[in-house]
Amino acid sequence: MKSPILFSLAALASLSWSASAETVVKVLHIQKNPKTLEIWQAAADEYQKAHPGVKIQFNYLENEAFKAKLPTLLQSSDKPSCFHSWGGGVMYEQIQAGVCQDITSAVGDFKDTFYPAGSQNFMFEGKLYGLPNDVGPIIFWYNKDLCAKAGIDPTKIKEWDDFIDAVKKCKAAGVTPIMVGGADGWPLHFYPVLLMMRIMGKEGMAAAYKGENGGFAGPDVVKAWTMYKDLCDLEPFQKGFEAAKYPDAAGGFHDGKAAFHLMGNWDLDEGRMDSATKKGLSDDQLGWIFFPEVKGGKGHANDIFASVDGWLVSKDAPKETVDFMKVWLGKDVQTKLAKEGLFIPMVKGTADAIQQPLIRSIAQEVDKSGWIQIAMDQLLGPDTGRLFNDQAVAIASKATTPEKATKAIQDSFKKTRM
C-alpha cells in the first residue's frame, strides 16, 4: 500500500508538471483599436476552448516603442511567439540573425488562402517566415468637383504624361493640384518610389536592391527622380506644403482645397476626421485611381505600393503558434474584420465583406495585383529609409538634384549592408 505522504508528493508533482506544461502563445502587436482586439480575443477564446492547456496571450506595444524594444525582446527568455512585421530589410536582418522560424512546412496549403503578393512579402530565399495580415494601398484620391472645374476626367489618366497634363489644367483653372504633408517626408517619398516601380517593374526594383545596374543610383532610378523633379518644378502642391503635416494635408484635401491627394486607403477616415467639418467630402464627391503608368515602363498600374502588415514567427515558438494563426488569420475571422471596416485583409474572398463602397472597390483590386512594394523605410531599413524621405523633401524644395539624391541613398544603403 502506498504511503499517503508519497501519494501526496506524487500528486503535487503531477500538478506542478501540469501547470508548467501549459503552452503560452505570445502575440506581440501594435494594434489598439478596441473592436479589432475584441474580434482577436474572441478567436483566441474559441481556440483555447478547443485546445485545453494552450493560452493565447496578446501583448501590446505602441508603434515606436515596438520598434525600439523588439530587438532586445527577441533575444530574451520572454520573447514573443509571433510578432508584428512590415517585412522588407528589417525582416531580412531578423531572419539572418536567426531569430525567426521557417514555417513553410507548418503552414502548408494555408498559404494559398492569401493573395500571393501578400505572402511573398514574408518570404526569404524561397522560405516562408510569416503571414500577411492586411494591406494599405497608396492611390490617388480625387475631388470630382475640382477636377470638373479644371476640365479633367481622372478616369482617363492612364500614363504619367496624362497626370502632368492634369496638373497643368488645374493650375490654369486656379485649382491647387495636389495636397501633401511635406513636413513629414514620407508622403512625398511616394512619388519617386511609384515612378521607380512604373519604370523598372518588379524585377528592376529587386535588381536595384541587390546593387545591380547601379543599385538605387542606377540610370532608371535617376530617371524616376528626374520625373519627380519635373512634377515639383510645376509647383503642384499647396502653399506652405513644406510645413504641413499629414493631418493638415488629409484634412485640407477633405476641406476641398486640392484636386488630388496621393495617400493610402486609410485617408478616407483620417481625412474626414481631420477636416474642418469632421465629415469631409462625401462618397459622391470622391473617386480614386491608381498611380499612372510610365510610357515604355515595365511596371503596371495595379502593381501596388502599400504598407503590408503581417506576422513573423520566432525561432523557438511552440507549434501551436502556427496552428492558432490558421484560425486567427483564417477567412472567418478576417471577414469579420473586413465587415467592420477595420482592415483590407490579405485573405482571398474577404473584399466583398467590406461595407464602405470606395474601400471595397480598392480591396477588390488587390486580388488582381501580382506585386506589392513596401515602403522604403522598411525595405531599405530605418536609416536609409529616413534618408530617402529627406531626399524626396529636398527635391521638392529645390535643394538638391536627382543625381545627388540617388547617390546619397545608394551610398547609405551600401554602407548599412556592409
Q: Are residues 265 and 147 in the same domain?
A: yes
Percent of the chain with pLDDT over 70: 95
Task: Report whether pLDDT(8) > 60.
Answer: no
Q: Which helix (H) or strand (E) holds 211?
A: none
C-alpha cell of residue 30: 501594435
- Position 11 scores a pLDDT of 40
- Look at the chain and report how many structural domains it folds into: 2
Mean pLDDT along residues 378-403: 94
Same-domain check for residues 295 and 244: yes
| Average pLDDT of the segment spanning 91-97 | 93
Reported confidence tier of residue 190, pLDDT bands at 50, 70, 90? very high
- What pLDDT is recorded for position 33? 87
Evaluate whether residue 347 is within a structural domain.
yes
Residues 382 and 236 in one domain: yes
Nearest 5°: CA angle at 102, between 67 and 418?
55
Residues 270 and 154 in one domain: yes
Instruction: Answer with the one of 324, 342, 365 that is the final residue of a domain.
Output: 365
Mean pLDDT score, 32-41: 94
pTM: 0.85
Q: Which three cell numbers stand for residue 260?
A: 488630388
Is residue 119 a part of any domain in this protein? Answer: yes
Q: Where in 207-319 does DSSP place strands (E)?
A: 260-264, 286-289, 304-313
Residue 161 lies in a domain: yes
What CA–CA distance (Å, rounded) separates 195 from 292?
9
Answer whether residue 13 is part of any domain.
no
Answer whether residue 366 shows pLDDT above 90: no
The closest of 253, 229, 268 to 181, measured between CA atoms, is 253
338 and 264 inside one domain: no
How far does Cα 392 stand from its chain's mean position? 19
Sign of CA dihedral 29, 327, 321, 109: negative
The domain in which residue 53 lies consists of 21-136+307-365
What nine digits make up the cell of 304? Answer: 501596388
Residues, the chain:
418
Alpha helix ranges (H) inside 129-258? 144-149, 160-172, 186-209, 219-233, 246-254
Q: Is the pLDDT of residue 20 over 60?
A: no
Specify the CATH number for the domain of residue 337: 3.40.190.10
260 and 187 within one domain: yes
Q: Kindly report the average pLDDT of the chain as a whole number.
A: 92
Q: Are residues 285 and 197 in the same domain?
A: yes
Q: Which helix (H) or strand (E) holds 375?
A: none
Instruction: Tell me: do 288 and 225 sit in the same domain.
Output: yes
Q: How confident is the model at residue 116 (pLDDT cuts 50, 70, 90)?
A: confident
Domain identity same for 157 and 131: no
My answer on whether 322 and 388 are in the same domain is no
Which pLDDT tens digit goes with each residue over 126-158?
Answer: 999 999 999 999 999 999 999 999 999 999 999
Q: Flag whether 48 is in a domain.
A: yes
In a domain, 9, yes or no: no
- 199 pLDDT higher than 60: yes
Is residue 263 domain-shared with residue 190, that is, in the same domain? yes
User: Both 293 and 198 in a single domain?
Assistant: yes
